[in-house]
Chain A
Amino acid sequence: MKKRMLYIVLFLILIMIIGYFCNEGAVDTDFAHKNIGPSFYYPFGTDWMGRNLFFRTLRGLSISLFIGIIASSISAFIALFIGMTAVFGGKKADAIVTWMIDFMMGLPHLLLLIVLSMAVGRELKGVILSIALTHWTSFARLIRSELFQLKEKNYIKIAEKLGKGKVYIFQKHMLVHLLPQFIVGWVLLFPHAILHESSMTFLGFGLSSEQPAIGILLSESMQYLVTGRWWPAVFPGLFLVIIVLLLYCLGKDLQKYISQK
Chain B
Amino acid sequence: MAGYILKNSIRMFLLIIAVSIAAFLLMTYSPIDPLQTNVGQTALGIMSQEQIEKLETYWGSTLPPLTRYIQWAKDFFSGDMGISLLYRQPVSDIISQRLSNSIWILSAAWILSGVFGIILGMLAGIKEGTLLDHIIKSTAILFSSTPIFWFALLMLMLFSVWLKWFPIGLSVPIGVTAENVTITDRIYHGILPSFVLSIAAMPNIILHTREKMITVLESDYVLFAKAMGKSNQQIFIQHGMRNVLLPAITLQCASISEIFGGSILAEQVFSYPGLGQMAVTAGLGGDMPLLMAIVVITACFVCAGNLLADVLHHIIDPRMRFGKGNKI
Contacts and interface: CB of A to CB of B under 8 A. Distances in A.
Interface in A210-234: 218, 221-222, 225-226, 228, 230, 233-234
- Across the A-B interface, give the 9 residue pairs with the lowest CB-CB distance, nearest first: A108-B261, A237-B150, A119-B26, A110-B261, A244-B145, A118-B30, A114-B283, A108-B260, A245-B145
Given A111-B261, A116-B26, A118-B26, A237 B328 contact: no
Contacts of B328: 145, 148-149
Interface stretch (B47-55, B118-126, B230-238, B294-302): B294-302
Contact of A198 (B147, B154, B298): B147
Majority DSSP secondary structure for residues of A touching B: helix
Contact of A233 (B18, B27, B153, B299): B153
Given A108-B302, A118-B30, A204 B145 contact: no
Contact of A103 (B19, B257, B264, B294): B19
A90 to B, nearest CB: 16
Nearest to B291: A115
10 contacts: A103-B22, A107-B299, A115-B23, A118-B27, A118-B30, A202-B265, A202-B268, A203-B268, A248-B141, A248-B144
A247 B161 CA distance: 33
B284 interface: yes
Contact of A221 (B15, B145, B153): B153
A115 B153 contact: no
A199 interface: yes
Interface string B226-268: 0000000000000000000000000000000110111011001
Contacts of B272: none
Interface in B14-38: 15-16, 18-19, 22-23, 25-27, 29-32
A169 B279 CA distance: 48
A106 B302 contact: yes
A199 B29 contact: no
Interface residues of B, number: 52
Nearest to B296: A107
B149 to A, nearest CB: 5
Contacts of B145: 191, 195, 241, 244-245, 248
A108 to B, nearest CB: 3
B85 interface: no
Interface residues on A, range: 35 or more
Interface in A164-217: 191, 195, 198-199, 202-205
Contact of A115 (B26, B150, B262, B302): B26
A110 B265 contact: yes
Contacts of B29: 119
Interface in A113-139: 114-119, 121
A218 B151 CA distance: 11
A191 B144 CA distance: 10
A199 B148 contact: yes
B164 to A, nearest CB: 11
A105 interface: yes
B153 A218 contact: yes
B270 to A, nearest CB: 11
A218 B26 contact: no
A240 interface: yes
Given A118-B283, A225-B156, A240-B147, A203 B18 contact: no
Interface in B125-181: 141-142, 144-150, 153-154, 156-157, 161-162, 168
B27 A203 contact: no
B196 interface: no
Interface in A129-159: 145, 148-149
Nearest to B284: A204
A134 B32 CA distance: 20
Given A228-B161, A233-B157, A199 B283 contact: no
A4 interface: no
A256 interface: no
B291 A225 contact: no
A81 B253 CA distance: 30
Contact of B269 (A102, A103, A105, A222): A222
Nearest to B19: A106
A74 B318 CA distance: 41
B35 to A, nearest CB: 15
B157 A230 contact: yes
Contacts of A149: 328
Nearest to A198: B147
B147 A237 contact: yes
Contacts of B95: none
Contacts of A106: 15-16, 18-19, 299, 302-303
